[in-house]
């Protein structure tokens, strides 16, 4: 974000807050700068609000947040103002994240609530799939994944930063990935918003136990069960358990129960594992989008997210295939 755009953004922030009747009491202060976004704090009477600007690869987040807030204002943080074409958002302070409240202590019951509420969000958004595509949300539905995978494997950065052995192994994965994608496409589960980074640090929690999701900059229109890739890995880490620990299976099944009317649980488990594997390509793509206009220093610092997630296809998952 160059200085000219930052100056325009500060003018926009001031106008948006003045229109709301809560003018800024000081200048915006940059809190975090990343290749994919800038986040700034803006002081107001009684607290602060937040400005976020996304790069070209995730500019759609502003429009997506506006739609989610319209559909499910109790499930997401509701923007104060958005500029969809420029990818700008002005957001209220959400308070504590669930992670900041729980610290290093794992709470299975809180994860149950988190996963069920996210399933509710996905089911509510599914009928609006065409709207998501129209606003630029990436199309990572199963049918699109084989071509995305092939393009990533031919990407100069991936070729230059993946060993010849692993690149050959990934190319050998192409028929398998096409098979998984075809099965997911035929699963009967409607595509929806797939967060791609769902964990307790991206959820605000209030004193009454309510949860509101935020940070949809990695999101895509995809098979909803792909959300479990990151969620289960974070549970595995935070609960300090082994692969295939019962808590992982319980939480996965709790999430899947929201689709109990679509298929029986054994079939939902198989579909979920297919989605988890395919979503590794989505994760690589989200890093690729995030670094779309990154310089060499940023690529050196963050680029292994592209190659690393592709190489995850070659290793085990925290929950084994049923």
Contacts for 162-166: CB closer than 8 Å, 24+ residues apart:
162/307, 162/310, 162/311, 166/311, 166/314
**Rounded percentage of the chain residues whose pLDDT exceeds 70:** 100
pLDDT tops 80 at residue 227: yes
Give every CB contact of residue 41 below 8 A, 6+ residues apart in sequence: 28, 29, 31, 48, 49, 50, 51
Q: What is the DSSP letter of 24?
A: B
Give the least confident one: 137-141, 293-297, 299-303: 293-297
Domains assigned to the chain: 3-92 (3.30.200), 98-314 (3.90.1200.10)
> What is the pLDDT, as a whole number, of residue 208?
79
> pLDDT grade, residue 102 (50/70/90)?
confident
| Cα(162)–Cα(307) distance, integer angstroms | 7
What pairs with residue 114 in β-bridges? Answer: none
- Per-residue pLDDT band for 206 (boundaries 50, 70, 90) equals confident
pLDDT tens for 11-43 read 999 999 999 999 999 999 999 999 999 999 999
Question: Reduced to 3 states, what is the DSSP secondary structure of residue 49?
Answer: strand
Nearest to 34, CA basis, from 284, 216, 281, 299: 299
Task: Determine how many CB atoms are found less than 10 A away from the CB of residue 18.
Answer: 11
pLDDT of residue 41: 97
DSSP 76: B
**pLDDT score of 31:** 95
The predicted pLDDT at position 293 comes to 86
Tell me the average pLDDT across 140-153: 98
Residue 110 pLDDT greater than 90, yes or no:
yes
Residue 189 has pLDDT above 90, yes or no: yes
133's CB contacts (< 8 A; 6+ apart) are 139, 221
What is the spatial distance between Cα 48 and Cα 31, in angstroms, rounded to a whole number? 12
- The pLDDT-based confidence of 197 (bands split at 50, 70, 90) is very high
Question: How wide is the angle at C-alpha 216 spanned by C-alphas 270 and 280, nearest 5°?
Answer: 35
Helices (H), the chain: 3-20, 61-71, 98-102, 108-125, 129-134, 145-154, 156-160, 164-172, 174-185, 228-238, 246-256, 265-290, 296-302, 304-311
Q: Average pLDDT in the 2-8 region?
A: 92
Instruction: Report residue 272's pLDDT band, with 50, 70 and 90 as the boundaries.
Output: very high
pTM of the model: 0.95
Query: Residue 97 gets which letter from DSSP?
Result: B
Arithmetic mean of pLDDT, 121-138: 98
Q: Is the pLDDT of residue 181 over 80?
A: yes
């Amino acid at each position: 974000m160059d200085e000219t755009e930052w100056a325009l953004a500060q003018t926009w922030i001031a106008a948006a807050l003045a229109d709301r009747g809560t003018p800024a009491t000081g200048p915006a202060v940059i809190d975090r700068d990343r290749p994919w976004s800038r986040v700034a704090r803006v002081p107001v009477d009684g607290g602060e609000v937040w400005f976020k600007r996304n790069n070209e690869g995730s500019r759609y987040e502003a429009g997506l947040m506006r739609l989610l807030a319209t559909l499910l204002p109790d499930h997401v943080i509701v923007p104060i103002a958005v500029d969809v074409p420029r990818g700008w958002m002005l957001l209220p302070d959400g308070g504590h994240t669930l992670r900041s409240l729980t610290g290093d202590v794992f709470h299975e019951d809180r994860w149950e609530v988190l996963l069920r509420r996210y399933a509710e969000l996905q089911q509510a958004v599914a009928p609006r799939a065409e709207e998501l595509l129209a606003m630029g949300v990436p199309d990572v539905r199963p049918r699109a994944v084989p071509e995305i995978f092939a393009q990533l494997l031919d990407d100069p950065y991936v070729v230059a930063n993946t060993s010849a052995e692993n690149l050959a192994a990934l190319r050998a994965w192409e028929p398998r990935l096409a098979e998984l994608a075809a099965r997911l496409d035929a699963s009967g589960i409607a595509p929806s918003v797939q967060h791609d980074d769902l964990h307790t640090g991206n959820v605000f929690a209030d004193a009454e136990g309510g949860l509101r999701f935020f940070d949809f900059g990695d999101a895509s229109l995809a098979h909803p069960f792909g959300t479990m890739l990151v969620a289960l890995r974070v549970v595995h880490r935070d609960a300090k358990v082994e692969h295939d620990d019962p808590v992982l299976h319980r939480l996965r099944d709790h999430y899947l129960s929201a689709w109990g009317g679509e298929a029986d649980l054994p079939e939902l488990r198989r579909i979920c594992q297919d989605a988890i594997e395919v979503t590794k390509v989505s994760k690589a793509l989200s890093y690729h989008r995030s670094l779309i206009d990154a310089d060499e220093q940023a690529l050196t610092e963050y680029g292994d997210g592209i190659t690393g997630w592709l190489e995850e296809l070659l290793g085990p998952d925290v929950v084994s295939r049923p």
